[in-house]
Chains A and B, each alone.
Chain A
């Protein structure tokens, strides 16, 4: 079956760095997406990886290892506004997104 695993909740301190991991098993693979979702709001796109390696975009970076079925989202210089859920989604061979349940990130001052 198809499956996405990510931690349910993480806590970090303002100004610090946090890494949110995601492992996936899909029928075929056409890329890995990360979305941010603030409470009561819609998911918004953060990053897309289809090749192995690290993609950096400002304070946020995303890494992919296709051979390991593994990705992580790295958030640097954490700000209070980064408190949100982070959703990992893998695109399968039919170009459908398979979503993880999300990681709730709590930032403490």
Chain B
């Protein structure tokens, strides 16, 4: 693995189904983030993690949950998907914690369609 990876690349999901988007980084970054990107809108932060074992809510956390059991992995779970969660999801990581102006490095994204 080089950098930050996400899986799956794309997914079509029926409304009401549970879905976990995976994110793994091998840069030993402390901070990790989940964003969604919708046409005409800026990236919006869903959840973040300053370091392994801690998580926080971003701008649009409702309907999503995360966990950070170790440094490398930061999965995002949709407990019961709804059509408004159709979006492109980006995972990102950065070297520091929330208290630093770190550059964020992005994974390739997951394109999710909820029908």
Contact = CB atoms under 8 A, between A and B. Distances in A.
Contacts of B42: 4, 87, 89, 98-102
A4 to B, nearest CB: 6
Contact of A101 (B40, B90, B98): B40
Interface stretch (B14-22, B64-72, B78-86, B103-111): B103-111
A96 interface: yes
A48 B108 contact: no
A96 B101 CA distance: 9
Nearest to A100: B42
A42 B90 contact: yes
* Chain A: number of interface residues, binned into ranges: 20 to 34
A91 B41 contact: no
B39 to A, nearest CB: 9
Contacts of A89: 42-43
A42 B107 contact: yes
Contact of A50 (B58, B101, B103): B101
A65 B11 CA distance: 42
A14 to B, nearest CB: 27
Q: Which of A89, A94, A96 has the most CB of B within 10 A?
A: A96
A72 to B, nearest CB: 18
A30 B44 contact: no
A97 B41 contact: no
Which of A44, A97, A101 has the most chain B CB atoms inside 10 A of its CB? Answer: A97
Interface of B: 40-45, 48, 58, 90, 98-101, 103-109
19 contacts: A30-B101, A41-B108, A42-B90, A42-B107, A42-B108, A43-B43, A43-B90, A44-B106, A45-B104, A45-B105, A89-B43, A94-B98, A95-B98, A95-B99, A95-B100, A97-B45, A101-B40, A101-B41, A102-B42
Identify the 10 closest CB pairs spanning chains A and B, nearest first: A99-B42, A42-B106, A99-B43, A31-B101, A30-B101, A101-B42, A95-B98, A45-B103, A43-B106, A100-B42
